[in-house]
Amino acid sequence: MYSLALRMAWASLVRRRARSFLVVLMICVSLWGLLVMQGIYDGMTEQMIANAIRSDSGQLSLFGRGYRLDPSLDTLVGGKQTDNAGERLRNLLDNDPGVRSWVKRLRQNGLVATAHYSRNTEIYGVDLDREDKNGQLQRYLLQGEYDFGDQSKGAIIGFKLAEKLQVKIGKKIILSAQDLNSEVTAIALRITGVLKTNNLGIDENAVFIDLERARTFLGVEQGVSQISIMMHDDQQLTSLQQELQYALPHLDVLRWDELYPALMQSRVMMKGFSLVISIMIFGVAGLGIFGVMLVSVLERMREFGIMLAIGTSFRQVRIIILAEALFMGLTGLLAGAVCGGLSLVYFKIYGLDLTMFSEAFEEFGMDAITYAIIRPDYFVTAFAAVVLATFVSVYFPLRLLRRANPIEVINAV
Amino acid sequence: MFIQLAIRNVLAYRKRSVITLLLGTVSTALLVFSSAWMDGSHQQMIKNAVEIYSGYIQITGEKFRKSPSFEHLLFDVEKLQKDVEAVAGVEIFSPRFEAFVLYSVGEKAVGGMLTGIDPEKERRISRLYSSLKEGSYLSNTDTNQLYIGNELARRLKLQVGDELAFVGSGADYSFAADKLIVKGIFQTGLFEFDATGAFLAKPYFDMIMAAGNLATHGIVLPHDTQQVDILAKKIGRKIGEEFQAASWMETMAALVKSMKLDSVFGYITLGIIFTVIFFVVMIYTLLAVFARIREIGIMRAVGTTPRQIFGILLLESSILGFISVVAGGLIGAVFAYYFNVHPMVFSGMEEQFKQYGLAVSAMPTAFEPVTILRDMLVMFVLLLLSTLYPIIKANRYQPIEAMHHV
Amino acid sequence: MRYCLRIFCTLSLFFTGGFILIFSQVLHAEDANDIIEKVVNNLNGKTAVMEISMVVKTSRAERTMKMKSYSIGQKKSFIKILYPKKDEGITFLKLDNSMWQYVPRIEKTIKIPASMMLQSWMGSDFSNDDLVKESSLSEDYDHALISETDNEYNLELHPKADAAVVWGKILMSVSKQYYLPVRVSYFDEDGVLIRELLYTDVKAYGKRFYPSCWVMTPKTADKKGHETRITVSSAIFDTVVDDGYFTKRALKRFSR
**What does the pLDDT read at residue A274?**
84
**Cα torsion angle, B317, B323, B326, B327, sign:** negative
Which chain A residues touch B if contact means CB-CB below 8 Å? 18-19, 22-23, 25-26, 29-30, 33-34, 37, 41, 70, 120, 261-263, 265-266, 269, 277, 280-281, 284-285, 287-288, 291-292, 295, 354, 357, 359-365
Residue B24 has pLDDT above 80, yes or no: yes
Q: Give the mean model confidence (pLDDT) for residues C126-133.
A: 78
Interface test with A, best of C162, C169, C189 (most A CBs within 10 A): C189
Are A116 and C220 in contact (CB < 8 Å)? yes
Chains touching A by CB (3 or more pairs below 8 Å)? B, C
Beta bridge partners of B222: B90
Residue B340 has pLDDT above 80, yes or no: yes
**What does the pLDDT read at residue B360?**
58
Q: Give the mean model confidence (pLDDT) for residues B265-288.
A: 84
**What does the pLDDT read at residue B141?**
92
Chains touching B by CB (3 or more pairs below 8 Å)? A, C
Q: Which is higher by pLDDT, C177 or C134?
A: C177
Three-class SS of residue A226? strand
For B69-125, write each residue's pLDDT tens digit. 888 889 889 999 999 999 988 999 999 999 989 898 887 778 889 999 999 999 999
Q: Give the mean model confidence (pLDDT) for residues B139-148.
A: 93
**What does the pLDDT read at residue C135?**
55
**What does the pLDDT read at residue B358?**
52
Of A118, A175, A188, the CB nearest to C162: A188
**Cα torsion angle, B65, B69, B71, B73, sign:** positive
CB C84 within 8 A of CB C90: no
Q: Give the mean model confidence (pLDDT) for residues B308-332.
A: 90
Please state which of the ranges A146-155, A400-409, C18-27, C241-250 shows the lowest mean pLDDT: C18-27
Q: Give the mean model confidence (pLDDT) for residues C226-244.
A: 90
Q: Which is higher by pLDDT, B43 or A347?
A: A347
CA pair distance A152, C204, nearest whole angstrom: 49
Average pLDDT along chain C: 82
Pick from C39, C20, C22, C15: nearest CA to C184: C39
Residue A220 has pLDDT above 80, yes or no: yes
User: C62 to chain B: nearest residue by CA?
Assistant: B172
CB C235 within 8 A of CB C48: yes
**Chain A touched by C202 (CB under 8 Å):** no
Which residues touch A396 (CB under 8 Å, ≥6 apart)? A290, A294
Average pLDDT along chain A: 86
**Most confident range, picked from A7-21, B152-166, B265-279, C126-140:** B152-166
Of C81, C107, C116, the CB nearest to B102: C116
Are B177 and C58 in contact (CB < 8 Å)? no
Pick from B219, B191, B185: nearest CA to B98: B219
Please state which of the ranges A149-153, B182-186, C12-16 shows the lowest mean pLDDT: C12-16
**What does the pLDDT read at residue C133?**
67
Query: Residue B240: pLDDT band by 50, 70, 90 thresholds?
Result: confident
Residue C241 has pLDDT above 90, yes or no: no
Q: Which is higher by pLDDT, A114 or B190?
A: A114
Environment class of residue B398 by beta-carbon count within 10 Å: exposed (0-12), middle (13-18) or buried (19+)?
exposed
Residues of A in contact with B280 (CB under 8 A): 26, 284-285, 287-288, 291
Count of other CB atoms within 10 angstroms of residue A313? 11
Residue C30 has pLDDT above 60, yes or no: no
**What does the pLDDT read at residue C3?**
44
**What does the pLDDT read at residue C2?**
41
Length of chain B measured in residues: 406
First vs last Cα of chain A: how many Å apart?
Answer: 29
**What does the pLDDT read at residue C51?**
93
Q: Which is higher by pLDDT, C137 or A348?
A: A348
CA pair distance A348, B135, nearest whole angstrom: 54
Q: Estimate the crossing angle of helix A376-403 against helix A314-350, to 10 degrees.
A: 160
Residue B62 has pLDDT above 90, yes or no: no
CA pair distance B101, C187, nearest whole angstrom: 29
Whether this model's ipTM surpasses 0.85 comes out as no
Query: Residue B391: pLDDT band by 50, 70, 90 thresholds?
Result: confident
Residue A83 has pLDDT above 60, yes or no: no
User: A41 to chain B: nearest residue by CA?
Assistant: B265
User: C222 to chain A: nearest residue by CA?
Assistant: A116
Query: Residue C16: pLDDT band by 50, 70, 90 thresholds?
Result: very low
Q: Give the mean model confidence (pLDDT) for residues B323-327.
A: 93
Are C166 and A174 in contact (CB < 8 Å)? yes
CB A15 within 8 A of CB A329: no
Phi, then psi, of B296 in degrees rounded to 5 = -65, -40
Residue A99 has pLDDT above 70, yes or no: yes
Residues of B in contact with A261 (CB under 8 A): 351
Q: What amino acid is encoded at A87 in this protein?
A: E
CA pair distance C212, C205, nearest whole angstrom: 10
Indicate the helix (H) or strand (E) that contains C206: none
For C76-101, write each residue's pLDDT tens digit. 889 999 988 888 999 999 887 788 89
**What does the pLDDT read at residue A286?**
86
**What does the pLDDT read at residue B235?**
92
CB A27 within 8 A of CB A19: no
Are C188 and A183 in contact (CB < 8 Å)? no
Please state which of the ranges A135-139, A345-349, C50-54 shows the lowest mean pLDDT: A135-139
Length of chain C measured in residues: 256
Residue C19 has pLDDT above 50, yes or no: no
Indicate the helix (H) or strand (E) that contains B290: helix B253-291
**What does the pLDDT read at residue B355?**
52
pTM: 0.78
Of the CA atoms within 13 Å of residue C129, those in its CB half-sphere come to 23
Chains touching C by CB (3 or more pairs below 8 Å)? A, B
Pick from B366, B376, B394: nearest CA to B296: B394
Average pLDDT along chain B: 86
Three-class SS of residue C37? helix
**Residue C183 DSSP symbol:** E
Q: Give the mean model confidence (pLDDT) for residues A61-74.
A: 82
Count of other CB atoms within 10 angstroms of residue B121? 18
Residue B400 has pLDDT above 80, yes or no: no
Q: Give the mean model confidence (pLDDT) for residues C103-130.
A: 83
**What does the pLDDT read at residue A275?**
85
First vs last Cα of chain C: how many Å apart?
Answer: 88
Q: Estimate the crossing angle of helix A314-350 against helix A17-52, to 10 degrees.
A: 40
